[in-house]
Amino acid sequence: MNKFLLMFLAFLMATCYNDNNKEPVIKEMEFVPEMLGLTPGSTIAEVNFAWYSDSGENSFVRITKNGTIFLTKRGISGVASEGKYFHKAMAKYLKPNTEYAYRVSNDSIKWSVEYKYKTPQTETFKFAAIGDPQLTTGEQDPESIWFSPDRSVALGWKTTVEKITVAKVDFILSTGDQVDDGSNEKLYENFFAPAALRSIPIAPSVGNHDRHQIFQYHFNLPNEQNFSEENYGNYFYLYNNILFVALNTSAYVAGVEAAKPYIERFDATLAAAKTMHSGKYKWIIVQHHKSTRSVAWHSAEPDIQYYIDAGFETLMEKHNVDFVLAGHDHVYARIKLGNIYYMTLNTASGLKYYDPLNRTDEQTLPYAQNRIPGYTIFEVNGNNISISVYEVDKNTPIDKFEVVK
């Protein structure tokens, strides 16, 4: 084979490969699914898919390994919004530390372009945690210290995802408010725009701005607990030795009594997660939206205190939770109460920021409001978790600590 043919083949392979930063080239009989996103499955042997299309005949995902079909799985579809259909499918039986390729289909005849997905290792892995991407079609906070080149929220989010991608994480955990207006599909287009989200699963929490049916169309959640039509988004997943439990604290409860049914649902979700994965986890991480231990404006709102008085933090102690990750306040803070680390994560896009209140809480460790979008990297290695908190304009963390168990 002459060198010119080798060069051509190398070029062809490079143009067809998705490197997490570029969308693949469309070939004949292929299409690009709308707003395609991944979420973690029930365990690392699974991964869930969701996307939109103009037709709702069916949903399929096809997984290949080294060019050979590994699995074809049928999913579900239904009417979404604005003349669109949602599609959901799940892949199972995946092996650790293995690279797969996948395509999705709306009819099992025409398949999408090919994307890559790599499963995590079983001993060590990384995940990113973010707060409030809160996508809009507008600009970032005018008082920002750091702006994306065009000052848009969309590009601020894209920049954060690019930094997370460089960190080579296995998935992204979001503490809610994926979009600013939960009824606006254009904002979800901006949320799913970064190409890396075709290869990196994202586990969302329901934020107060996400309270709309559209949220349920866009995310394929594992082990979701169906308490009512209004209290969705309580789910859980086992990622190696960590049991992650997502709780929906988006509601504006009007009092302690109104908050108690939510606490009961959270208790049931945690209990179900622990029962299903009994003996398989060492850590428990809860993700939700409305931080009960923050330093900025939202922490003074009455509904936050109602959740606390109804037993939210007592519930965390009861279930021996190790970390409680939240957002809502667009500021960074961490507090340790007993054996539990409560972390409030800053906005991942720079939409807006809230200043810390004038308060002296001796249990408050580091906090920061530098008006720069941020993200947090968790490096998990058995009994050790190393946490590094970053702002998008810096390669050195603004906060770093390690927890050993």
C-alpha dihedral (206, 175, 46, 109), degrees to nearest 10: 60
What mean pLDDT comes out for the span 336-343?
Answer: 96
Question: Distances in Å between the alpha carbon of 57 and those of 38, 228, 316?
Answer: 21, 27, 43
The pTM of the full predicted model, rounded to 2 decimals, is: 0.92
Q: How confident is the model at residue 10 (pLDDT cuts 50, 70, 90)?
A: very low
What mean pLDDT comes out for the span 22-44?
Answer: 86
Range from 288-297, 327-336, 357-366 carrying the lowest mean pLDDT: 357-366
Range from 23-37, 103-117, 142-156, 190-204 carrying the lowest mean pLDDT: 23-37
Residue percentage of the chain with pLDDT more than 70: 90
Look up residue 93 and give its two tokens: 């039986």
Residue 229 has pLDDT above 70, yes or no: no
Q: How confident is the model at residue 29 (pLDDT cuts 50, 70, 90)?
A: confident
What mean pLDDT comes out for the span 53-67?
Answer: 92
* Phi-psi label, residue 322: left if phi above 0, alpha if psi -120 to 50, beta otherwise: alpha
- How confident is the model over 305-327, as pLDDT tens digits? 999 999 999 999 999 999 999 99
Look up residue 119 and give its two tokens: 């499963």
Range from 12-16, 98-102, 163-167, 261-265 carrying the lowest mean pLDDT: 12-16
Edge-to-edge strand ranges of the sheet holding 283-290: 235-239, 242-246, 283-290, 323-327, 340-344, 332-337, 364-368
Residue 230 has pLDDT above 70, yes or no: no
Residue 84 has pLDDT above 60, yes or no: yes
Look up residue 80 and give its two tokens: 């979404």
Residue 123 has pLDDT above 80, yes or no: yes
What does 216-234 look like in DSSP terms, one character per residue? HHH---TT---S-TTS---
Range from 43-47, 78-82, 217-221, 329-333 carrying the lowest mean pLDDT: 78-82
Q: Given this model, what pLDDT does residue 348 score?
A: 98
Residue percentage of the chain with pLDDT more than 90: 83
Q: What is the mean pLDDT of the chain?
A: 92
Q: Given this model, what pLDDT does residue 273 score?
A: 98
Look up residue 177 and give its two tokens: 């408010």
Domains of the chain: 25-118 (2.60.40.380), 124-404 (3.60.21.10)
